[in-house]
Chains A and B, each alone.
Chain A
Amino acid sequence: MRIVAVDPDSCVACRNCEYACAFRQSGDFDRRASHIRVNFYAEERACVPLTCMHCDDAWCLEVCPAAAISRDPETGAVQIDAARCAGCKMCLLACPFGNVHFDRTQGVSGKCDLCGGDPMCVRSCISGALRYIEADEAVDLRREVLDASLRRLLHLDKGEK
């Protein structure tokens, strides 16, 4: 399956991805509705967009007591059916990455669904930091990236690997 891969070295923190996602979610440009969130590290002059990784063993999907979360057979996206979601928030507590968000106006959880296979965040990315690529490739990319630029950033997590 393909995922949205992130190359922090290329990201320029323009936040176009956040605006594009927010617009798709809510029809508005309030970034709080976005499922991709760009973390900006002023000191390190770096930024990292974070979004759902559609885990193979998606704990949010498994734990949902409303059976509202499923995997799209075509795109592989882990997606929430807003009509089934009761708003219990168990998926927010289940996600170890903080990538499930709560939509307070609708009272339901929301997350990246890969826009049905044409992610708006990637479309709107001006720097090539976001790419929609095969997950295997992304893992290689990740290793490269971790080796290089992220080392620098990871000192934010002193003591972390």
Chain B
Amino acid sequence: MQVTIVGNSAAALSALEGFRERDQTASVTLVSAEPVPAYSRVLLPYYLRRRLSYEGLFIRQMSDYARLRVATEFGARVERVDPATCELELADGRRLGFDRLLLATGSSPARPPIPGLDGPGIHTLWTLDDATRLDSLFREGARVMVLGSGFVALQAAWAARQRGLQVIVVELLDQILPRVLDAAAARILHEQLLAYGVDVRTGTRTDGVETDHDGKVRVSTDGTGAFAVDAVIVATGARPNDGLLPECLEPGKPGIPVADTMETSVDGVFAAGDVTRGPTSAGGPREIHALWPTAVEQGRVAGANLAEAGVAYAGSLSMNVTEMFGLTVASLGRFVEDDGDDVFESRDLAGIRYLKLVSRAGVPVGAISLGDPEGAALLGRLRPFVRQRRLLPDLPTFLEGRDLGQRLVGRGAIKEKTPCA
């Protein structure tokens, strides 16, 4: 049997490893457009911040692929999947056959419909090449504008600021990090950005971008007028790289829809990671959770099922954590309350400057923590409750870390091999 994996990142690698745990004999080929062994996108801002070396970005070596006995086709872009002949068509004209296929092609930065965004001086932070390009542009005193204020945008802004650049962040909505924080938490972080010398413009639309002959980029916005900067970093979200097999898409909806087995609607073809629209732990319609942990989990399920293990995915739960501007920012699940939800809020719990827990009938559904790293650990302990929709019986005990049920019952995990996720 020939198993072929397209992609070489979180989803592809977890699938590969999950597959090989169960099947040591099938022939496996991994095809990736990028010419290098796997590196981690999550780490790119840490590299720009000089927290990590270039070498530190790489998470696999060639010997790891050899150990897993996988044939690698790096630097090979897949143009199309032919489901009739079960072949991949590569950009260099070759065709590769498969019996089972995994599409783990991830996502790419979305380009908002702003005139001039394809000119020189316009950058993204998504790939290794992007990061090395930006690294050479990050000269002290240079001026950059970041379009968008999501995780990638603000991490780029923080890296630039730490390297001594002047940074302007422009966000269309009225708050920063709209998908990761509620308005109250966003305000605290917003103040923090200002304190770090970042010029933040929320509720501001970018109308157009022009690159001058002297290399300066002129950005016009509504309200606040025009800016001249040395570079623009576009970070307004992602869109799935879902074009290889149009047969498995639903009209008008981005992302490859997958079942809880990570199978697509096309026989023998699986998908995992940022490219998918998959089941969520909350139930309801499928969603795109373009996050590293989701890609790892989905990859694992896909890998097992490529080996016919019959594993079902319990659904993804969005979780975010990072440190920026001196604060640990973490959130989980649905953290904006609906009618009928209970909200616990604390403005100072042992160094956690903002903690919010949203629950419904005693079952936590989401949370935000801003401040000390301990907040991330607290949200980590909360995660099983959210995911398994379990009652959180005694909040004060939980907040103090003195809840024993959860923490000791888990000891059974050692023997019973239940995944601790």
| Interface residues of A, Cβ cutoff 8 Å to B | 3, 37, 39, 41, 48, 50, 53-59, 62-63, 65-67, 84, 86-90, 92-98, 100-102, 104, 107, 135-136, 138-139, 142, 146, 150, 153-154, 156-161
Contacts and interface: CB of A to CB of B under 8 A. Distances in A.
Interface in B56-90: 56, 59-60
A20 to B, nearest CB: 21
Given A92-B380, A102-B373, A157-B405, A86 B52 contact: yes
Nearest to A160: B405
A160 B392 CA distance: 8
B405 to A, nearest CB: 3
Interface of B: 10, 14, 40-43, 46, 51-52, 56, 59-60, 292-293, 296, 300, 319, 321-323, 328, 330, 332, 373-374, 376-381, 383-384, 391, 393-394, 397, 401-415, 417-421
A63 B417 CA distance: 17
A53 B419 contact: no
Closest 3 CB pairs of A and B: A160-B405, A102-B373, A157-B405
A76 to B, nearest CB: 10
Contact of A93 (B40, B52, B376): B376
16 contacts: A39-B401, A53-B411, A55-B410, A57-B421, A87-B51, A90-B42, A92-B321, A95-B381, A96-B383, A96-B406, A102-B376, A138-B414, A139-B414, A153-B404, A156-B397, A159-B393
Contacts of A57: 413, 417-421
Given A88-B321, A92-B380, A159-B391, A39 B292 contact: no
A62 B376 contact: no
B180 to A, nearest CB: 13
Given A66-B52, A88-B322, 12 more contacts: A54-B414, A56-B413, A62-B14, A86-B51, A90-B292, A96-B410, A98-B378, A135-B415, A139-B415, A142-B411, A156-B403, A158-B393
Contacts of B323: 87-89
A66 B409 CA distance: 29
A90 B293 contact: yes
B419 A48 contact: no
Contact of B384 (A48, A53, A62, A96): A96
A65 B10 contact: yes
A65 B42 contact: yes
A93 B410 CA distance: 16
Contacts of B60: 67
Contacts of A41: 402
B159 to A, nearest CB: 12
Contacts, number: 174
A98 B379 CA distance: 9
Nearest to B64: A67
A93 B319 contact: yes
Contacts of A135: 414-415
Interface majority SS (helix, strand, loop, mixed), chain B? helix
B292 A65 contact: yes
Contact of B330 (A66, A93, A107): A93
Contacts of B378: 98
B190 to A, nearest CB: 21
A101 B376 CA distance: 10
B394 A98 contact: no
A101 B293 CA distance: 19
Nearest to B390: A160
B303 to A, nearest CB: 12
Nearest to B378: A98
Contact of B412 (A98, A101, A102, A142): A142
Given A59-B419, A89-B322, A146-B408, A67 B376 contact: no
Contacts of A56: 413-414, 417
A129 B280 CA distance: 41
B403 to A, nearest CB: 5
Contacts of A156: 394, 397, 402-405
Contacts of B406: 96-97, 157, 160
A77 to B, nearest CB: 13
B17 to A, nearest CB: 9
A22 to B, nearest CB: 16
Given A88-B42, A98-B401, A93 B321 contact: yes
A107 B326 CA distance: 11
Contacts of B332: 93
A138 B393 contact: no
B402 A138 contact: no
B56 A84 contact: yes
A113 B411 CA distance: 17
Contacts of A90: 42, 292-293, 321
Contacts of A95: 377, 380-381, 420
Contact of A139 (B381, B407, B412, B419): B412
Given A55-B420, A138-B414, A89 B330 contact: yes
| Residue among B293, B380, B391 facing the most chain A CB atoms (10 A cut-off) | B380
